[in-house]
Structure 1
Amino acid sequence: MEADIVVVGAGHAGVEAALASARLNQKTILINLYEDKIATMPCNPSIGGPAKGIVVREIDALGGEMAKAADATALQMKLLNSSRGPGIWALRAQSDKIKYSNYMREKISNQQNLKLVVGTVVDIIVEQNKIKGVILEDKTIINCKALILTTGTYLSSKIYQGSENFEEGPSKEKTSKGLSESFKKYNISTFRFKTGTPPRVKKSSIDLSKAKIEPGSNMELAFSFSTNKVIPFDEQEVCYLIHSTDETKNIIELNLSKSAMYSGSIQSVGPRYCPSFEDKIVRFSDKQRHQIFLEPESLSLDTFYVQGFSTSMPIDVQEKMLKSLPGFKNVEVDKWAYAIEYDCIDPQQLKLTLELKTIEGLFFAGQINGTSGYEEAAGQGLIAGINAVCKLTNKESIILKRSEAYIGVMIDDLVNKGVIEPYRLLTSRAENRLTLRNDNAEIRLKEYGYKYGLITESEWNKYIKYKSEIDLTIEVLKNVRFTPKSELAIKLKELNQAILNQGFSAYEIIKQPKVDIEVVKDFIPELQILSKVQLQNILITIRFEGYIKKEKEEIEKLLKLEKKLIPADLDYNQVDNLAIEAKHKLSKVRPVSIGQASRITGVNPSDIHMLVFHLKKMSKWKNK
């Protein structure tokens, strides 16, 4: 059996990688442990959230599938942080996890150039530092020119519940053991991380009168640019909010030694931003209660995901913990919580293309790179899929800059800084939050999707129309003026939004912070034909013009450093006055530019100064 590209693992990273490869006309084989478990949601049944929701929009702009799947299978849609600055607005969908997986499974089944193979990869085939294929557990050999490993949390995974542990993947599934040994053979550095998941309980057993209803947003919201029909507000499912009690806290404190995490059974590091419930009790000992959300998992299931209640406690303690919650007196458990430990690779071994530096044609994406989250995985999978195709077709790789996408921020962080805990994307990780917004993902990235062939001609033409409407309307707003006696001026004064004591352009009027663009829209025909996202984009462009201009100037300065390239074979030991740590880190990461070098942890400004000085000397010497 052979293929151009093999993808191992059909989680969120693997699905995006395989679809991208196949859609770009490469014969692709997707290997998975199961035929029916495609893009499953072993943890929270949702897509999006702070920063993550913007990543989903970016995946869509690049030609990926996650946004379309999230829209098609949403139970609820919410715009987060809408009362705060636009740089942190983000969508979050409560997903029907059964429908989501079925949607992706159907896409895989119907995709030309793509074949699903059920099996377990136990070894990789490498010849002269080039990937040649994989070996399955049943001795089947699949030859390939490029390989993308997206094994998620299945690599030598172990489940923990109190003192008990099991060599299993999520939800008592198979684990993949052979690959970790194969990595040792090829000097691929690995370490272990852990994560956890809360219990699932039967909705019918919960007294919801004790809980607060958490509805979605009464707005027309969608992740994908191509989604035409959104879920109506009155058809959305609701989530619920409760809080832990004093009794919950006491149960944890009395049984802390039984937790797999605190008993010493688990030595690996877990996610700081998604701690287990017992970790919350220890770290925030002065806090009496914690938020817990009850989230529906599927219309076909009678279950709630108990968000915020992750634990590695034994089952008998979990039962006491659950029954201490408001409305949980008669709780029935569908699935108990657990912690899971698994192997990852050190992402500093990767290029910014997500290809391993030491083995040509071997790519890694998703949680195997030390990240957490479906969205982070999907973003990496899409980039790895595109770059694997570029590798085989001798095209320029796609490397997104930090100023272009949250996906670029994430990959840059992984490769240059490495990970000491499961990596989660946060808005605080981006220097250019006002540039990397929810509303402008198409404007930032659609051209890449079109260039690399994942955006169709019809989609591209639709986008061109969308963008030209925005540009045209902004010009109209600059040229249309309103006097103090105009109907708009009178309306704004009545609403206490603005007083026009002289003539102003519509652009200047919208710039005023209290003015509602919906009011202005009634007087500008060009505004009336625009979508909500287009209006949002125009509003932010106008209101934050000065900030955006300043941010762009800073970006331009940084881009100059990205253009100062470093020879691939540079011997850092020959750079005078370079700190020992800097020599080690630079030799390990092998940055391609001064900009990348400056972002490596342990490399200081003084090291960059010496490196630039050395490169200038080299240049002069070569020119003699």
Structure 2
Amino acid sequence: MLKENSKMKVDIVVIGAGHAGVEAALASARMGCKTVLLNLYKDRIAAMPCNPSIGGPAKGIVVREIDALGGEMAKAADATALQMKLLNSSRGPGVWALRAQSDKVKYSKYMQNKVSNQENLQLIEGVAKDLILKDSKVTGVLLEDGRIIECDSAILTTGTYLSSILHRGSETENTGPDGEITTSYLSDTLRENKIKILRFKTGTPPRVKTNSIDFSKAQLEPGSDAKLAFSFSTKEYRDVKDQVPCHLIYTTKETKTIIENNLTKSAMYGGTIDGVGPRYCPSFEDKVVRFNSKEQHQLFLEPESLSLDTIYVQGFSTSMPIDIQEQMLKSLPGFENCIVDKWAYAIEYDCIDPTQLELSLELKGIKNLFLAGQINGTSGYEEAAGQGLIAGINAVRKIQNKEPLILKRSEAYIGVMIDDLVNKGVVEPYRLLTSRSEYRLTLRNDNAEVRLKKHGRDIGLIKDTEWNEYQKFEKEINDAIALLKQTRYTPKSEIAIELLKLKQANISQGISAYQLLKQPTVDSNIVFKYIPELKHLTHNQVQYIVISIRFEGYIKNENETIQRFENSESKLIPTDITYSNVDNLATEARQLLEKIRPNSVGQASRITGITPADIQMLLFYLRKKYAQKIIT
């Protein structure tokens, strides 16, 4: 126990125990580093201050990637899910994604239990007052009560708690989410060290008592009866009859009128908020203004926990004062007699310009200081957890004098996100979308293990048991594909007759099961039904096999594109380059390249503001000046 005005020494200090902090701390400890997880509250671990869910488009794939690398979010989501769905299943596999409606209370307790029982990890309650620096390098953390934790590396995962202000109408309060503690100390320290600070805003909708809503006026939104899970390790699935349903309603003309008549009372439109809000998760009044021709908007009614009598009104985030919020709620179908458990609010907070980060998530201006989560200008639990895992891994590898783990855009959505943050920066809270990736058919929901499991193994987060299980999983897939190629059917075979009757295929000559699966009209379940040797395959294995076969040509084309991308990534830029010496390079390009200092020509080409002409000038210079160093 660290007493007041005392001192201790560890390898790594993680500041903040949200979704980023938990993943960072668990990764650090599991990789053998003595780690402290510092949080404002001991019982607020991986909390869900906004939506009670994990996953969704792109985000669900990130959760699968976290699992493949050895993180914890996927296991926690599976263990505490109230409902599970596969989204976008009617569209192409590049946009399929899992989403779990989570029990927010159980999720937090699950993570708290993992933290409490993790070897090499100590949870300490306290407020970080300052970073202790020596020669622009972190050597420790000073707590508000005078305690000092000396360390070799620190990871900032402060979420929305830096200089935060809560807004409802004209009322403001200097607090963090749900009226919790906020701190400005670390923002001041970062500014003093010439780190550029941005001001962002997010918000949350009201929570309403479940038993005060008339659900007969809502559309039922049940979960899926398929065996769905985020984690490779999950073997038990919640039956659809045991899943808790969500509901769907639509706002009314009255709702829109209330907003239009009271717009100036909103903190967002009344001038009290300076921060920039998220474009893809706007406040409800922002929706009304931006999409004024729409008379109604979807709202999802989501249960928060089996231990809470509360519904999260998804899509109804607002910064309106309480009296207007009440009018808005009672204009909704089924909400005529609703009782509010918690009113909506908007919150402003400090974050940094992420172009000041290395791809490892180490801050360029302060060595051995890594940042992850909303402090980097992102939004969402999943984006935070993915960054936290990478920051934790790379903080350890920095101490071990090893190369950082940098995921490429072609191998992970986590890689896309970090690459976007560092090279493009942010003008609003960053949210991952499938459209941000050039390689959606490669970065699929079903193949996270194939893409990333070896990374997890190499860095030491995937242990022998899971690795051996994965190798068996992969062998079964390869053996199944070989069997599908060998298995042949005639026009008179039983499967041919069934497919003809169902009008799915007309087999006029001998054909393999592999070729049958290439036909989009053929139900893959029928093909697998006729091959009893493959009945042991899991839902995820079958999904991977079918997609690999059915989209084989498209995947081949994308792999060729990826190869060209990786060729540009292999053209490394020497670290001692002086961009002012590059002939015919635009002044703006020199400034951007000097600021971000990309590792490769490929990374340089993705910096916002860098043109193809700039890249050509850079290549000419590199070939002339560093002929032996640059890979061409």
Identical columns (%): 67
Cα deviation for residue 486 of structure 1 reads 1.6
1:324 and 1:480 map into 2 onto residues whose CA distance is: 61
Once the two structures are superposed, residues 223-243 of structure 1 have per-residue CA deviations (whole angstroms, 9 ceiling, x without a partner) of 000001111100000111111
Question: Within 5 A, what are the aligned runs for 1:361-440?
Answer: 361-440=368-447
Question: Within 5 A, what are the aligned runs for 1:41-80?
Answer: 41-80=48-87
CA contact (8 A) 2:284 2:317 kept: yes
Pair 1:551 & 2:558 matched:
yes
1:158 and 1:87 map into 2 onto residues whose CA distance is: 39
1:336 and 1:26 map into 2 onto residues whose CA distance is: 42
Residue type of the partner of 2:483? V
Of the candidates 467, 474, 477, which is equivalent to residue 481 of structure 2?
474
Question: Within 5 A, what are the aligned runs for 1:578-597?
Answer: 578-597=585-604
Residue type of the partner of 1:602? G
- Residues 77, 21 of structure 1: CA spacing in aligned structure 2 closer, same or farther, 3 A cutoff? same
2:507 and 2:267 map into 1 onto residues whose CA distance is: 66
Cα deviation for residue 338 of structure 1 reads 0.2
Equivalent residue, structure 2, for 1:539: 546
Equivalent residue, structure 1, for 2:577: 570
Pair 1:151 & 2:155 matched:
no
1:211 and 1:30 map into 2 onto residues whose CA distance is: 43
Pair 1:619 & 2:621 matched:
no
Once the two structures are superposed, residues 495-524 of structure 1 have per-residue CA deviations (whole angstroms, 9 ceiling, x without a partner) of 211111011111111101111111111222
Equivalent residue, structure 1, for 2:515: 508
CA contact (8 A) 1:565 1:592 kept: yes
Question: Within 5 A, what are the aligned runs for 1:196-275?
Answer: 196-275=203-282
Residue type of the partner of 1:532? H
Pair 1:292 & 2:299 matched:
yes
List runs of 5+ in structure 2 lacking aligned partners: 1-7
Pair 1:449 & 2:456 matched:
yes
Pair 1:139 & 2:146 matched:
yes
Equivalent residue, structure 1, for 2:27: 20
Once the two structures are superposed, residues 107-150 of structure 1 have per-residue CA deviations (whole angstroms, 9 ceiling, x without a partner) of 00000100011001011011012110111111111100000000
Equivalent residue, structure 1, for 2:88: 81
Residue type of the partner of 1:63? G
Of the candidates 327, 334, 344, which is equivalent to residue 337 of structure 1?
344
- Residues 237, 621 of structure 1: CA spacing in aligned structure 2 closer, same or farther, 3 A cutoff? closer
Equivalent residue, structure 1, for 2:4: none
Cα deviation for residue 396 of structure 1 reads 2.1
1:401 and 1:331 map into 2 onto residues whose CA distance is: 48
Residue type of the partner of 2:339? E
CA contact (8 A) 2:363 2:370 kept: yes
Cα deviation for residue 358 of structure 1 reads 2.1
Equivalent residue, structure 2, for 1:90: 97
Residue type of the partner of 1:301? L
Equivalent residue, structure 2, for 1:128: 135
Once the two structures are superposed, residues 269-291 of structure 1 have per-residue CA deviations (whole angstroms, 9 ceiling, x without a partner) of 10000000000000001000001
Residue type of the partner of 1:106? N
1:276 and 1:428 map into 2 onto residues whose CA distance is: 22
Cα deviation for residue 493 of structure 1 reads 1.2
Cα deviation for residue 622 of structure 1 reads 8.8
1:468 and 1:605 map into 2 onto residues whose CA distance is: 44
1:229 and 1:480 map into 2 onto residues whose CA distance is: 32
- For 1:194, what is the secondary structure of its paired residue? strand
- Spell out structure 1 runs of 4+ moving beyond 4 A: 620-623
2:355 and 2:286 map into 1 onto residues whose CA distance is: 29
Residue type of the partner of 2:42? E
Once the two structures are superposed, residues 467-502 of structure 1 have per-residue CA deviations (whole angstroms, 9 ceiling, x without a partner) of 011111111111222111222212211221111101
Pair 1:191 & 2:198 matched:
yes
CA contact (8 A) 1:248 1:321 kept: yes
List runs of 5+ in structure 1 lacking aligned partners: none
Instruction: Provide the TM-score with structure 2 as the length reference.
Output: 0.98
CA contact (8 A) 2:574 2:629 kept: no
CA contact (8 A) 1:527 1:535 kept: no
Once the two structures are superposed, residues 525-557 of structure 1 have per-residue CA deviations (whole angstroms, 9 ceiling, x without a partner) of 332121111000010000000000000000001
1:621 and 1:291 map into 2 onto residues whose CA distance is: 59
1:41 and 1:345 map into 2 onto residues whose CA distance is: 22
1:457 and 1:397 map into 2 onto residues whose CA distance is: 23
Q: Count matched residues.
A: 623
Cα deviation for residue 621 of structure 1 reads 9.1
2:592 and 2:376 map into 1 onto residues whose CA distance is: 18
Once the two structures are superposed, residues 257-311 of structure 1 have per-residue CA deviations (whole angstroms, 9 ceiling, x without a partner) of 0000001111111000000000000000100000111100000000000000000
